[in-house]
Amino acid sequence: MKKLGLVVRQRQAYKVTTNSKHNNQVADNVLARQFNPTTPNVAWAGDVTYLRTAQGWMYLAVVMDLHSRRIIGWALSKRMTVQLVERALQMAVNLRQPPKGVIFHSDRGSQYTSKCYQALLTKHGFTVSMSGKEACLDNAVVERFFGSLKHEWLLNVRHLTRDSMRSDVEKYIRYYNKIRLHSSLDDMSPIEYENYKKKVSGWT
């Protein structure tokens, strides 16, 4: 980069999506930045980001299987509520039917620490893990997905309506899961990587 005269421009957060000022119980960081489990349904990660439209903000919640980096659950809303993150998790559960003991990692935001969300995690047998205080690197893989969405797909695109943003996000998630290549996945897409690993390992 120095030879080519390239300079890194740091991304800036313009809207806070994590409210850690609450009295809800927080969990230890069980994941401990172990972002590369060798099999599916070992560790999932969730987070929320903001998206700007001419009609106002939208909030995107996702759930990622860290093994393949695949987005297995997601939800959009104009409000950042517990129901938003619950919908994303329920989509992932419906798709994967996970066994008991899967690690679910998130930040310490009030949506994730709420009694309702924790009850949903307990119902499905998840092992709860949370990032350290103000430690965004503890959930770096999902943060990287959000960065790719905003800087590869949505950059310089002005969405006039929330419906337009929803459609564009849906397209990106399909592209990301099925087509976008990842160096960490031997230059395969998440779904391609999952299918390859199933074939060579005989997973069901």
Residue 17 maps to a domain? no
Number of folded domains that form the chain: 1
CATH number assigned to the domain comprising residue 88? 3.30.420.10
pLDDT tens digits, 71-93: 999 999 999 999 999 999 999 99
Are residues 117 and 81 in contact, defined by beta-carbon separation less than 8 angstroms? no
> What pLDDT sits at residue 2?
75
Residue 35 maps to a domain? no
Residue 15 maps to a domain? no
> What pLDDT sits at residue 135?
87
Residue 130 maps to a domain? yes
Which two structure tokens, joined as six digits, stand for 35? 């972002």
Residue 33 maps to a domain? no
> What pLDDT sits at residue 202?
73
Please identify every stretch of the chain with a pLDDT value under 70, giving residue numbers as ranges: 7-22, 203-204
Tokens 């969730």 -> residue = 46
Residue 12 maps to a domain? no
Q: 95: domain range?
A: 43-201
Q: How many CA atoms lie within 13 A of 138 on its CB side?
A: 17
Residue 191 maps to a domain? yes
**DSSP-derived 3-state class of residue 87:** helix
Residue 80 maps to a domain? yes
The arrangement of strands across the sheet holding 56-65 comes to 70-77, 56-65, 43-53, 103-106, 127-130
